[in-house]
Structure 1
Amino acid sequence: MSQLDVDGFPVAWKDPEDADTVSMFDVIYGKVREKIILQRLIMISRLPHDLADRTDLGAHYENLNFQLNKQYIWDHITGLLLIYPSYLLHIIESSRDILTSVLRDVKVMQQQPHRTLLEVKILFLDHNPQRRLFQQWSYKVLGADQVIRDPAVKVLEDEEVSIETLVCSVLSTLQNLSKKLEKSKALPGSVLDETPELIVHQKILERLLGREELLSPQQYLDMYKSTLNISMEFGQLNPRNLFSAV
């Protein structure tokens, strides 16, 4: 059986006398590993009330991921797409090229006559996170009975809360879900069925979509193209800094 490196790729056997010899695979794979930096994008959206089949959204992103995996063969895509009755929460973990491709696809979807995604905002962008929250990409369509109400959400409804509090609430719930997945080794869909308190409440998504501090995909792409306006604060927990142009 061939030896594997830390990422699961085969390590070519070398004669001790050829210890300093570098193969073409070493050169190419080494350059690829240096180029790929993991990023995490969290995106939220409002869905049309008359959306006939929400599974179409899941199928759309499955196909998009398939096409992107063929184009960027080294860039592994992980994440979770939660499709609520009226909202969407999408976490994508991959390279910058993959993430910008997903945002460009959102732009195309919003330009179609029958828009599937209405208002779309970038909730969070983490540059070079220490670890992935998910081991693969999957999606789940949530039923109305799974969107639970709890005291914490009641507080968010009754009191004036900062955008930092709302964002941190989402990030904390996703971290707890990730820890649960790591322990159970189950798929996110089954874990959320058993522990619905790990579902980000749609009321929080509604509140966040109404905040002007969060960028739309188009605003982000415009900023991305303009090297003079790139914010160096990506990955910070303060969205005012995170999404502000310098």
Structure 2
Amino acid sequence: MEREDGLSSEEKKTDEETGTSLYHHLMAQRGRLFEEPKIVLQRLVTAARLPGGSAAAGTDVGAHHEDLVLRLRRRHLRDNVTGLLLVYPSCLLQVVESSREILVSVLRDVATLQRDRALLEAKIVFMAHDPRRRLFPQWSRKVLDAGQAAGGAGAQGHKTEEERTETLVCGVLSALQKLSAELEVSRKPLPGPVLDQSPALVVPQDILEELLDRDELQSPSEYLQTYASPLDVNVEFGHSSS
């Protein structure tokens, strides 16, 4: 027979399972404190000019970027890296989707390639913080020939130098969004075959060349300098002068 002033064995068992004691609450709170932080997805879009417009240079830099992504994946096991590297005859367009730490590592690498003259001008075309979804299911690279590099620009008949920088950037982002949508429709894991079948989805090379000449866009080195600089706090702020 159960005691009236006590708990039944079933009730005690339920309390132990649900953890209603102060000890259980404290341990649960401590566990939340030591939980690994959630990785916030970020997206980086960069463009860079190849030295001399050399196809061999593009192949070498493309292989270097692929090796970099593999090394970053091994170093940051929790940070999934997706994106796309398009190697044009005269320049590169790269999309990287991962954590902020990965993106900063990629920018540092691009800045190093510039110092070593493996790349010439480089610009950050766009950065997105916490986008709703990834554009690409994995990271891949694609080498474009001269015909593919023209993209859909041939039918447009306008001069890119007459366009505002914001318009050109929006054109790049729009093309990437369309490519991502086509990947979902075709159910193909890599964008290479999709671009072979639909070259109009390629961001035209002349748009990238024009963006590389725009001073409004930061270079990786300029961004990293700002990123590493401490905030300039005015200690006199709020003090009235007599």
Q: CA deviation at 1:48?
A: 1.4
Cross-structure match for 2:71: 67
Cross-structure match for 2:126: 124
Q: CA deviation at 1:19?
A: 4.9
Relative to structure 1, the CA distance from residue 156 to residue 101 in structure 2 (aligned partners, 3 Å threshold; closer, same or farther) is same
Any idea what SS the aligned residue of 1:228 has? coil
TM-score when scaled to structure 2?
0.78
Cross-structure match for 2:174: 172
Letter in structure 1 aligned against 2:223:
Y
Cross-structure match for 2:37: 32
1:44 aligns with 2:44: no
2:58 and 2:91 in contact (8 A); partners too: no
Compare CA radii of gyration and give the structure with the larger one: 2
2:45 and 2:124 in contact (8 A); partners too: yes
Q: CA deviation at 1:32?
A: 3.1
Relative to structure 1, the CA distance from residue 210 to residue 32 in structure 2 (aligned partners, 3 Å threshold; closer, same or farther) is same
Q: CA deviation at 1:53?
A: 5.0
Q: CA deviation at 1:225?
A: 1.1
Relative to structure 1, the CA distance from residue 18 to residue 108 in structure 2 (aligned partners, 3 Å threshold; closer, same or farther) is farther
Cross-structure match for 2:225: 222
Letter in structure 2 aligned against 1:174:
L
Relative to structure 1, the CA distance from residue 19 to residue 191 in structure 2 (aligned partners, 3 Å threshold; closer, same or farther) is farther
Identity of aligned residues (%): 51
1:197 aligns with 2:200: yes
Counterpart-to-counterpart distance in 2, 1:174 and 1:163: 17
Any idea what SS the aligned residue of 2:127 has? strand
Cross-structure match for 2:214: 211
Task: Name stretches of at least 5 consecutive residues in structure 2 with no aligned partner.
Answer: 1-13, 233-242
Counterpart-to-counterpart distance in 1, 2:34 and 2:96: 23
Matches within 5 A, 1:1-246: 18-19=17-18, 30-33=35-38, 36-49=39-52, 50-52=54-56, 54-112=58-116, 115-148=117-150, 149-152=153-156, 154-157=157-160, 160-186=162-188, 187-228=190-231
Number of equivalent positions: 207
Q: Displaced runs of 4+ in structure 1, greater than 3 A?
A: 15-23, 26-30
String of CA shifts for 1:148-170, please: whole Å, max 9, x gaps.
34232x2234x722111111000
1:32 and 1:74 in contact (8 A); partners too: no
Task: Name stretches of at least 5 consecutive residues in structure 1 with no aligned partner.
Answer: 1-14, 230-246
Letter in structure 2 aligned against 1:195:
S
TM-score when scaled to structure 1?
0.77
